[in-house]
Chains A and B, each alone.
Chain A
Amino acid sequence: MTLADRLGRETVRELQIDTLEKQGKGNGDRAMTRFFSPPDVEGTALLSHARILESDDQWLYLPALRRVKRISSSNKSGPFVGSEFAFEDLTANELGKYAYTYLGTETLEDGTEVDKVLCEPLYERSGYTKLHCYFDTEIYQSRKVEFFDRGGLLFKTLELTDYREYPGGYWRPHRQTMTNHLTGKTTVLNSEPYDFSVDLNRRDFEPAALDAF
């Protein structure tokens, strides 16, 4: 994850995200994020048990103190580790997060044909009034998202590129670029190839597993 300010000064954060995805609708996705750099935060880990319309449950591991701390996560609109991604931008795209309205079919600058959809957050304390979501008409994946703040102003754009298909028909983007139009800051999330079917179970996504680095 590369964070750049308006002047192009960069901070690089290396992280690994393990996710346990629940099939079907409803709560239950779990994610363990471990930080490798910058070196002063090496070993820090964040565990999230996702809820769609309420606050998630989150625990933070502070490696210097060996401390596991349950933290308040009522602020899903807050920035994720100083980046332009909010916590709510990084959680899985559960169907139940938004109300959807089809707005039409468009063509992006690179020639991709997309369906433009109005997504209205159902989570009360979302940082957004609405999103414009652009779904690829060929592979049915999100290509672009425009975020409108509480004042109705377009303030962030997310572009998702380098999609690759994994066995079983799972598409994943390997580059996500979030641009904040108000501050001029950007965050680029570059992903290594994904590993599916890793031998992990629910107990690897409990607070007791946070220090397993």
Chain B
Amino acid sequence: MTAAASPSYASGSTRITPEIALEARWFPEDPQFEQQFDGVQAGVIFSGDLRWRSDDRASRVRVEPYLRLDSQDSQRSYFDIREASWTHRRGDWELLAGVGQVFWGVAESRNVVDIINQFDSVEDFDQEEKLGQPMLRLGRRFDRGSLEAYYLPYFREQRLPGESGRLRVDPVVETGNPDFERDGDEWAGDLALRYALTMGRFDIGLHGFHGTSREALFVPDLEEERFTTLYQERSQIGIDAQYTHGPWLLKAEAVAADVSGDRFLSSVYGFEYTFFGVTGSSTDIGVIVEHLYDDRDSVKSPITLFQDDLFLGLRVTPNDAQDTELLAGGFVDTETSAVIASIEFTRRIASSMLFEAELRYFNDSDGPLVAFFEDDSNILFRLTHYF
């Protein structure tokens, strides 16, 4: 015997929310490599969401186009369909077709289980932005969780900064003409399966994946003084789990993978503890500690920063009407003492205007990747207007 109540607001509806963002990213230090630009990188982003839901809630459509224009790096001016999906539900079954985005994982610093989408590495190297992935997804809900099967027919190549861009390796990576291990092309198709369930204080996800690795292997092309990319065959199984009790969130993600015959383990585990209502105010402060591990042979693998690293983070949430949030965090490589630190600040400054600021710091070190970025500490300001 149940009674369901809801206001009739927005049933069977279309909602369109376009947005324009202006941003400026300033690199105070001189560039490390010759062709890289010096100073400020300006950008404008045209984006937005279209959402439609049928009256009976059985069908949904979501479309999100994304266009970025960049003042310094032509590789960073691009268009992408972040999402263009149709979802239909019948009883406990759900089918999604089109271009979509999927998030798997529980950790804050890096999600080793998150494999469906290609990361948009030209936006940022922090693996938060993703390229839209063409997919067919069939889902089935059960009392104790849900099962999802994926067919991913087309592979999305990584998008990387161009020769004039900052935050790149040297020599530059040539994109647009990658090599593939499987069938030699991007139509080889990937398969994935995931079961997610909640049991009391535990949230658990189990998955398997077979297809093409999202990570590119950079292959030196000595004649052209460039790197080309190779995408290898990859199979993996993985688990992500979170235990939630009181102010504690305990988290773990682990993947056992085989990439072109090379087997390795990749994991992240740690905790988030929240101090609620600090000093009698409504401000919450969360402390995040995570350990990242990856036992890949560094000679045969893509450049991996996270072989044995510690992540420390601090999240400050005043719980105000402007939804202000401050997130500070840093990776420390325990072997090379490379450091990547960032501070992100977000606040709504008018009813349809969002302000973001982001500071990134790289120390001088011999660590892989950070050595390329050591002069690329930067500060970013972004203003987004919604219509």
- A residues apposed to B, CB below 8 Å: 3, 5, 11-12, 14, 16-23, 36-43, 55, 57, 65-72, 74-75, 77-79, 81-83, 170, 172, 191-200, 202-203, 206-208, 212-213
Instruction: Tell me the smallest distance from the CB of B104 to a CB of chain A, in Å.
Output: 9
Whether the Cβ atoms of A39 and B17 lie closer than 8 Å is yes
Contacting residue for A20 out of B2, B246, B323, CB 8 A? B2
Instruction: Tell me the smallest distance from the CB of A128 to a CB of chain B, in Å.
Output: 13
Whether the Cβ atoms of B321 and A82 lie closer than 8 Å is yes
Instruction: Tell me the smallest distance from the CB of B281 to a CB of chain A, in Å.
Output: 10
What residue in chain B is nearest A18 (Cβ atoms)? B6
Whether, in the assembled complex, B263 has its beta carbon less than 8 Å from a beta carbon of chain A, the answer is: no
Report A-chain residues with C-beta under 8 Å of the C-beta of B351.
11-12, 37-38
Whether the Cβ atoms of B246 and A55 lie closer than 8 Å is yes
Whether the Cβ atoms of B277 and A194 lie closer than 8 Å is no
In the assembled complex, the Cα of A83 lies from the Cα of B249 at a distance in Å of 25
In the assembled complex, the Cα of A208 lies from the Cα of B141 at a distance in Å of 8
In the assembled complex, the Cα of A14 lies from the Cα of B13 at a distance in Å of 15
Whether the Cβ atoms of A72 and B249 lie closer than 8 Å is yes
Whether the Cβ atoms of A193 and B7 lie closer than 8 Å is yes
In the assembled complex, the Cα of A16 lies from the Cα of B8 at a distance in Å of 9
Whether the Cβ atoms of A72 and B17 lie closer than 8 Å is no
Whether the Cβ atoms of B6 and A70 lie closer than 8 Å is no
In the assembled complex, the Cα of A16 lies from the Cα of B242 at a distance in Å of 28
Whether the Cβ atoms of B4 and A21 lie closer than 8 Å is yes
B contact residues, range: 35 or more
In the assembled complex, the Cα of A19 lies from the Cα of B145 at a distance in Å of 20
Contacting residue for B321 out of A5, A20, A200, CB 8 A? A5
Whether the Cβ atoms of A197 and B3 lie closer than 8 Å is yes
Report B-chain residues with C-beta under 8 Å of the C-beta of A38.
323, 348, 351-352, 386
Contacting residue for A43 out of B3, B5, B51, B323, CB 8 A? B51
Report B-chain residues with C-beta under 8 Å of the C-beta of A67.
103
- Name the 4 nearest CB pairs between A and B, nearest first: A39-B386, A192-B7, A75-B276, A82-B321
Whether the Cβ atoms of A192 and B2 lie closer than 8 Å is no
Interface residues of B in 101-136 (CB under 8 A from A): 101-103, 106, 128
Instruction: Tell me the smallest distance from the CB of B35 to a CB of chain A, in Å.
Output: 33
Report A-chain residues with C-beta under 8 Å of the C-beta of B274.
72, 75
Instruction: Tell me the smallest distance from the CB of A4 to a CB of chain B, in Å.
Output: 9
Whether the Cβ atoms of B352 and A203 lie closer than 8 Å is no
Whether the Cβ atoms of B321 and A195 lie closer than 8 Å is no
Report B-chain residues with C-beta under 8 Å of the C-beta of A71.
244, 249
Report A-chain residues with C-beta under 8 Å of the C-beta of B277.
75, 77-78
Count chain B CB atoms within 10 A of each CB in A19, A57, A69, A191 and give the residue with the most: A69
Whether the Cβ atoms of A72 and B244 lie closer than 8 Å is yes
| In the complex with contacts A16-B10, A21-B3, A75-B284, A213-B17 CB distance below 8 A | no
What residue in chain B is nearest A41 (Cβ atoms)? B323
Contact mask for chain B residues 44-68; partner A; CB cutoff 8 A; 1 contact, 0 none:
0000010101001100100000000
Report A-chain residues with C-beta under 8 Å of the C-beta of B56.
199
Whether the Cβ atoms of B141 and A82 lie closer than 8 Å is no
11 pairs, A vs B, C-beta closer than 8 Å: A5-B321, A11-B348, A38-B386, A70-B242, A72-B248, A78-B282, A81-B319, A192-B9, A199-B56, A208-B145, A213-B53
Instruction: Tell me the smallest distance from the CB of B135 to a CB of chain A, in Å.
Output: 13
Contacting residue for B5 out of A40, A79, A81, A198, CB 8 A? A198
Whether the Cβ atoms of B5 and A11 lie closer than 8 Å is no
Report B-chain residues with C-beta under 8 Å of the C-beta of A57.
198, 244
Whether the Cβ atoms of A82 and B320 lie closer than 8 Å is yes
Report B-chain residues with C-beta under 8 Å of the C-beta of A194.
5-7
In the assembled complex, the Cα of A199 lies from the Cα of B143 at a distance in Å of 18
In the assembled complex, the Cα of A193 lies from the Cα of B8 at a distance in Å of 7
In the assembled complex, the Cα of A76 lies from the Cα of B105 at a distance in Å of 26
Instruction: Tell me the smallest distance from the CB of A48 to a CB of chain B, in Å.
Output: 13
Whether, in the assembled complex, B19 has its beta carbon less than 8 Å from a beta carbon of chain A, the answer is: yes
Report B-chain residues with C-beta under 8 Å of the C-beta of A55.
246
| In the complex with contacts A22-B2, A192-B8, A206-B244 CB distance below 8 A | no
Contact mask for chain B residues 308-323; partner A; CB cutoff 8 A; 1 contact, 0 none:
0000000000011111
Whether the Cβ atoms of B352 and A196 lie closer than 8 Å is no
Report A-chain residues with C-beta under 8 Å of the C-beta of B352.
38-40
Whether, in the assembled complex, B359 has its beta carbon less than 8 Å from a beta carbon of chain A, the answer is: no
Whether the Cβ atoms of B2 and A195 lie closer than 8 Å is no
Whether, in the assembled complex, B184 has its beta carbon less than 8 Å from a beta carbon of chain A, the answer is: no
| In the complex with contacts A38-B348, A42-B15, A78-B321 CB distance below 8 A | no
| In the complex with contacts A75-B277, A78-B284, A203-B92, A198-B319 CB distance below 8 A | no
In the assembled complex, the Cα of A213 lies from the Cα of B248 at a distance in Å of 29
In the assembled complex, the Cα of A212 lies from the Cα of B56 at a distance in Å of 12
Report A-chain residues with C-beta under 8 Å of the C-beta of B203.
70, 207
Instruction: Tell me the smallest distance from the CB of B270 to a CB of chain A, in Å.
Output: 15
Instruction: Tell me the smallest distance from the CB of A69 to a CB of chain B, in Å.
Output: 8
What residue in chain B is nearest A209 (Cβ atoms)? B141
Whether, in the assembled complex, B384 has its beta carbon less than 8 Å from a beta carbon of chain A, the answer is: yes
Whether, in the assembled complex, B327 has its beta carbon less than 8 Å from a beta carbon of chain A, the answer is: no
Whether the Cβ atoms of B247 and A72 lie closer than 8 Å is yes
| In the complex with contacts A42-B15, A82-B323, A207-B3 CB distance below 8 A | no
Contacting residue for A79 out of B1, B51, B247, B282, CB 8 A? B282
Whether the Cβ atoms of A19 and B51 lie closer than 8 Å is no
Whether the Cβ atoms of B9 and A16 lie closer than 8 Å is yes
Instruction: Tell me the smallest distance from the CB of A93 to a CB of chain B, in Å.
Output: 14
Whether the Cβ atoms of A78 and B276 lie closer than 8 Å is yes
Contacting residue for B6 out of A17, A74, A202, CB 8 A? A17
